Structure 1
C-alpha cells in the first residue's frame, strides 16, 4: 500500500474519531432511512410481475412491460397525466412566489408587533389537517348552507354548486392550498433574510435607497439561491400531488378534472386490487419525476450557478 493511501486512511480515522458523537447521532436516522426507504425498493418488481399473494413477489409470474403498455393504452392515461400536470403547474406558479413575496414584505415591515401578529395569522392554517380543511371547503361552498352562497344570495346572485362545476375545482384546490401553506412556506425565506448583514441596508439607506430598492437589490438576491433549490425540489415532484386533498374534494361531477395519478393509483391498486398495475403506474410516475429533477437541476446550474449538486 502506497504512502498516499495510508495518509488518506489515517486522515479518515482522525475525522471519524473527532466527530464520533455526531456520527452516533446520525446512526438511528441512517438505519430508519435504510429500513423504510431502501429495503422496500424490491417491491418495484411488482410492476413487472403478475402478483400472486400465495406465491409472493419472487414467485409471481414475470410479465415484463405488460402493465406499462396497459397504462399507456388505457383511456385514463392522457386524462390523468394532463390533470396532474395542469394542477401541479398551476399550483407551482401560484404557490411558489407568494411565500417569497410575503417574506420580503413582512421583513421590510417596521412594526415588529404587527409583523408577529400577521405571521401568526398566516402560519395558523398550516396546522389544520387536510381532512378538516376539505370539510371546511365543502361546507363553506355548499349551495344550501354555505357562507359563500349566502353572501351571493344577499346580493341577489343565485347560489352556485361550486364543487359540482369542474371549471371551479382546480381554482378551489390551488387557492385553498395557498391559504393553508403560504405562511408556513415563508419561514425558510425568513431564515435566509435573517442572515443578511444589517450593514448592507444601512449603507444603502445612506445612499438614498428606497424600501423597494432595498428589497430588489439586497433582499431578493440574498434569498435567490434558497428559492432556486426549493424550485428544483418542487419541479422534481411535479407529478406527485398529494392524494388526500384531491380525493376528498373529488366527486362524480368534477371527476374529469380531479382524477389525477395518485387517486387513480389508489382506485386501481386498493379498490380494484390490481397491485401490479398500480405499481407500474407509480414507478412510471417516479421515473418521470426523477428525469424532471435532473433536467431542472442542470438548467438551474447553467442559468444561475445554483443547484442541488
Structure 2
C-alpha cells in the first residue's frame, strides 16, 4: 500500500509539473535562445578537451589520434617557460585584486557620500563610459599617450626636464600599465553592484549615528562597509575563480618583442602554442589546467567565506 501511495504522489507531482510547464510555456520559450547559446557555444565545445589527452592530429581527427594520457599535463610542470608564464599570470592577477578590485569599492563609497543626486548621476555616467570602449581603443589611447614622442613624455621633458621614458618597451612598466588600464576601464562599471547594495541601507542608521556623534568616517566604517561586506565577499570569490584568467585581448595588444618575457601570460601562451605553433594538445592541457585551478580556488574561497559567517556563492 505504501508503494502504491508513493507512486501516486510521484505521478501527481509529474502531472502538476507538466501542467505548470504547459501553462507557462511562452515564458519557457523565451529561455530557448539563451539555453541554445550556452549549449552550442559553451558546453558542446567542452567535448574538444579530449585532445588534452591525445597527440592530436588534424588529419587523424578526434577519434583516431593517439591517446597519451597525462603526458601534456606532466609537461606543464617540466617546461620552464610554462612555470614562468604561470608566475606572470599569478603576479598580474594579484596586482589586479590588490589595486583594481578595491578601486571600485572606493569609488562607490565616494559616490555614496555625494548629496547632490544630479552631480552623482553626471559623475556616474562619466565613469561608466570607458567600460563600453573595446580594448583595441583603450590600448590605442594608451599608446598615443605613452609612446616615445607621446603626450606623457613631452610633459616629462618640457615641464620636468626629464629624459623620455620608454613606457611601452620597458618590461618593468608592463604590469603597472595593465593594472592602470583595467582600473580606468572597469572601475566605474564595477560600482553598479556596490551602489545597488548601498541603496538598501536604512537611512535611519545614519541618522542614529549622527545623533550619537559619529563622524562621516565612522559612519562609513560601521554602517556603509558592513552593508556591502557580503557583496564584496561574493565578488571576491568570483574573482578568485578567474585568477588565472587575466584577459587575452588586452595583454595580446600590449605585448611587443621588448616586454614579451614579462607580459606572456597563460592566455597568450595558449594562443602562441595552439594557433601559431599548432601544438593543440599541449595548449588544451594548459587551458584545462587553468580551469581546474580556478574551480579549486572558487570552491575553497566559498567554503572559507561560509566558515567566517558569510553567505558565499553556493
List gaps (5 residues or longer) in structure 1: none
Query: Matched residues in 1 for 2:15 and 2:165: separation?
Result: 73
Partner of 1:304: helix, strand, or coil?
Answer: coil
Provide Cα deviations, 1:180-204, integer angstroms capped at 9, x if missing partner.
1111111111111112233333333
Task: Using structure 2 for the length normalisation, give the TM-score.
Answer: 0.92
The equivalent of 1:50 in structure 2 is 55
The answer as to 2:282 corresponding to 1:282 is no
- The structural deviation recorded for 1:286 is 0.8
The answer as to 2:65 corresponding to 1:60 is yes
Task: Using structure 1 for the length normalisation, give the TM-score.
Answer: 0.93
CA 1:16–1:212: 2 relative to 1, 3 Å:
farther
The answer as to 2:70 corresponding to 1:70 is no
Query: Matched residues in 2 for 1:197 and 1:250: separation?
Result: 48
Partner of 1:159: helix, strand, or coil?
Answer: coil
- The structural deviation recorded for 1:100 is 0.9
The answer as to 2:153 corresponding to 1:152 is no
* Structure 1 segment 91-240 matched on structure 2, within 5 A: 91-143=96-148, 145-154=149-158, 155-240=160-245
Query: Matched residues in 1 for 2:94 and 2:313: separation?
Result: 21
- The structural deviation recorded for 1:123 is 1.3
The equivalent of 1:36 in structure 2 is 41
CA 1:109–1:83: 2 relative to 1, 3 Å:
same
Partner of 1:285: helix, strand, or coil?
Answer: helix
Partner of 2:96: helix, strand, or coil?
Answer: helix
Question: How many residues align structurally?
Answer: 308
Query: Matched residues in 1 for 2:210 and 2:32: separation?
Result: 49
- The structural deviation recorded for 1:235 is 0.2
Provide Cα deviations, 1:199-237, integer angstroms capped at 9, x if missing partner.
333333344333223222222111111111110000000
CA RMSD of aligned residues (A): 1.8
The equivalent of 1:81 in structure 2 is 86
The equivalent of 1:23 in structure 2 is 28
Query: Matched residues in 2 for 1:21 and 1:108: separation?
Result: 44
Query: Matched residues in 2 for 1:298 and 1:192: separation?
Result: 23
- The structural deviation recorded for 1:289 is 0.9
Partner of 2:31: helix, strand, or coil?
Answer: helix
Check whether the contact 2:76–2:83 (CA below 8 A) recurs between aligned residues. no
Provide Cα deviations, 1:73-112, integer angstroms capped at 9, x if missing partner.
1121210010000000111111111111111111121122
List gaps (5 residues or longer) in structure 2: none
